[in-house]
Amino acid sequence: MKKNKTYKPDWTPENAGDEFAVNIVRGVDVVKKNTTVDNKSHKRKLLSVDEYVNGVINFDRNILARTITLIESNNPEHNEIAQQVLQKLLPHSDNSLRIGITGIPGAGKSTLIESLGMYLIQLGHKVAVLTVDPSSTVTKGSILGDKTRMENLSKQDNCFIRPSPSGGTLGGVARKSRETITVCEAAGFDIILIETVGVGQSEVTVRSMVDFFLLVLIAGGGDELQGIKRGIMELVDAILINKADGDNEKKANISKADYENALHYLQPATKGWIPKAFTASAITGKGIPELWNTIKEFEKLTKESGFFETRRKSQQIEWVHRMVEDWIIDEFYSNEKVKKTIKSIEEEIAKGLITPTLAAEKLLKTFKS
């Protein structure tokens, strides 16, 4: 008989898989040091399509996390099963309010999400938090540290927090997050909070998958209006000045007035809705009920006007186009002829023997051939 051996895990966010995702939201150690496990049992078998579907619908946390891990996998076999699972979950989805939250680093997004999440759970809601962490463009690793900043929220039975590394690309944000939303909705979560990395163009991507989009800022950081790009402000449905407590409350109120004035000159992101600016303190909870009332007012107005449903449908169509673009890019760079040619063409560019335009044309001709 084969002897068991002592297994010391080397966990990373990328290889931890579903067991990591389940237990980290409950504050449980995944594997204790010096735990004895059998070599063969370490790798978990795939479930059947119906097992995934029934587990999600019945809110089995373990299977919920495993289903999301299946969706995030780049394995073709996993992808085929994942699409069958999603097809069966589709009739049980599209029943939540999706809220995107972005903001400058240090604005307190995670603390705000925890405060808002706790408030919503007290009101009887089920809250799923999807956080997209920035991945290193060098190592492709991701810190996935939001759990440590949402300690109280992660212990709630009616909350599920899922960190996902962005992979350093916008595709990493959009490709799997939309499908993860579908899974969470099928599991009964009626509020989906999506936190962006808060840098670059990821805000545009997340705007395309949520109903309400919130920009979180802080006062006292200099000329705030100069520091925020107009493009981002044109995407938002509300601006929240966080950390409006203590000595900072006066500065926050001044910033609120500045942003309210600025919003009057911008085209609203949502038809029929005038974006608002207000203050809050994620630490004390002050302003959180007002934030939620604003979101509910937004939902009521857009559903009555029909824009809520119209936006959802247009987002689905846009999703298809984005996936086609992603797949074409993947096909291009995985093409064997392209992989053989690209290195020599890069060397020609580096030596100044060919222009970038001609280099691109050569690669495209290689791909087409």
Q: What is the pLDDT of residues 89-126, one digit of tens each?
A: 999 998 999 999 988 788 899 999 999 999 999 999 99
Report the pLDDT value the prediction gives residue 200, as an integer from 0 to 100.
55
Least confident among 17-31, 82-96, 120-134: 17-31
191 near 99, Cβ under 8 Å?
yes
Nearest to 11 by CA among 27, 30, 37, 39: 30
Q: Is the pLDDT of residue 37 over 60?
A: no
Element (H, E) at 51: helix 49-57
Tell which wins on pLDDT, 17 or 219.
219
The CB density around residue 259, as the number of other CB atoms within 10 Å, is 25
What value does the mean pLDDT take over residues 13-26?
39
pTM: 0.80
Nearest to 130 by CA among 62, 55, 189: 189
Strand blocks (E) in the chain: 5-7, 35-37, 97-103, 127-133, 159-165, 191-195, 212-218, 238-242, 276-279
What value does the mean pLDDT take over residues 266-292?
93
Q: Report the C-alpha gap between 70 and 179 in whole angstroms.
A: 11
- Largest Cα separation within the chain, whole Å, is 76
List beta partners, residue 240.
Answer: 216, 278
Report the pLDDT value the prediction gives residue 170, as an integer from 0 to 100.
47
Report the pLDDT value the prediction gives residue 229, as an integer from 0 to 100.
63
Provide the pLDDT confidence category of residue 11 given band limits of 50, 70 and 90. very low
Q: Mean pLDDT of all residues in the chain?
A: 81
Report the pLDDT value the prediction gives residue 323, as an integer from 0 to 100.
83
Report the pLDDT value the prediction gives residue 128, as an integer from 0 to 100.
96
Tell which wins on pLDDT, 32 or 60.
60
**What is the length of the chain?**
369
Q: Is the pLDDT of residue 214 over 60?
A: yes
In this structure, what token pair is assigned to residue 81? Answer: 């099963």
Report the pLDDT value the prediction gives residue 53, as an integer from 0 to 100.
97
For the chain, domains (ranges, CATH) are 5-89 (1.20.5.170), 93-305 (3.40.50.300), 316-368 (1.10.287.130)
Report the pLDDT value the prediction gives residue 233, as an integer from 0 to 100.
83
What value does the mean pLDDT take over residues 270-288?
94
Nearest to 142 by CA among 27, 15, 31, 19: 15
Q: Is the pLDDT of residue 172 over 60?
A: no
